[in-house]
Amino acid sequence: MPQTELYLFDKDCLVLPPTLKQSLPSDIVQAFNNARWAASHALQYIKVVERNYNKRFNAMCPLNNPELALNHIGSVSRLLGRRNRNNTNFANFDPTLAPAAKLDPSTIKLTVDQRTYDEYAQKYVELLEGFLENPYRLWLEAKADVESRVANANFDEMQYSYWHRFWDLTFLVEMQKWEGRLQGLILPSWEEVMDDLRIIVLECPKL
């Protein structure tokens, strides 16, 4: 299955620069620390959501028949692994390398069932809504609290410039590394996931 997104952050972008911190009122420093904690908590939760999202192709197969389930999961793993390798090879094309070995069609055994997927989808939606209504909401509220306090702090032009450079152009840019994933975690419908699976099969060199 696809790997969970690798989130690489610049640690220097996540802490208040010493000079800026010394010039800020203590309530803004505390509000920022609260926002940073809320962001960290939301990030940990979104990783859980993402791991569940990455199970969507496996979740198309019922588990009541272990042999069928293992065949399906293994087939999905091979198909996705091949697609990922093909994408990597295309991005790093070297004409001197031999083409990748083709998949043996006899090793691909898929079993899909809409009811099984719908049950998974219901649980996934509950998980995603739990994220949006709790950790993500807390992050948005903490961020708004910081911005409200700054707006009422009567900064001079230089103070605001330093703050804007850190908050808007540095810290929030780092936050977009995980916030920007939200749209991509909307679960496809049964029809859409079936289309996605067909495309993955058709993309493979000898299927």
Q: Write the pLDDT tens digit of every residue in 124-165.
A: 999 999 999 999 999 999 999 999 999 999 999 999 999 999
Phi, psi of 6 (to 5 degrees): -90, 115
Q: What is the pLDDT of residue 89?
A: 45
Q: What is the pLDDT of residue 83?
A: 74
Q: Write the pLDDT tens digit of every residue in 5-50.
A: 678 889 999 999 999 999 999 999 999 999 999 999 999 999 999 9
| Residue 204 binned pLDDT confidence (cut-offs 50, 70, 90) | confident
Q: Are 187 and 125 in contact (CB under 8 A)?
A: yes
Q: Which residues, at least 6 apart from 29, have a Cβ–Cβ distance to it below 8 Å? A: 16, 21
| Residue 101 binned pLDDT confidence (cut-offs 50, 70, 90) | low
Listing DSSP states for 48-107 in one string gives: HHHHHHTTTTGGGS-SSSHHHHHHHHHHHHHHHHHHHHHHHHHHT--TTSPPPPPPPGGG
Q: What is the pLDDT of residue 102?
A: 67
Q: What is the pLDDT of residue 84?
A: 72
Q: Are 120 and 114 in contact (CB under 8 A)?
A: no
Q: Write the pLDDT tens digit of every residue in 74-100.
A: 999 999 988 776 554 444 445 544 455
Q: Residues, the chain, total?
A: 207
- Structure tokens belonging to residue 114: 């809409």
SS3 content of the chain, % helix, strand, coil (to 5): 70, 0, 30
Give the domain ranges of the chain. Answer: 19-93+101-203
Q: What is the pLDDT of residue 17?
A: 96
The mean pLDDT of the chain is 90
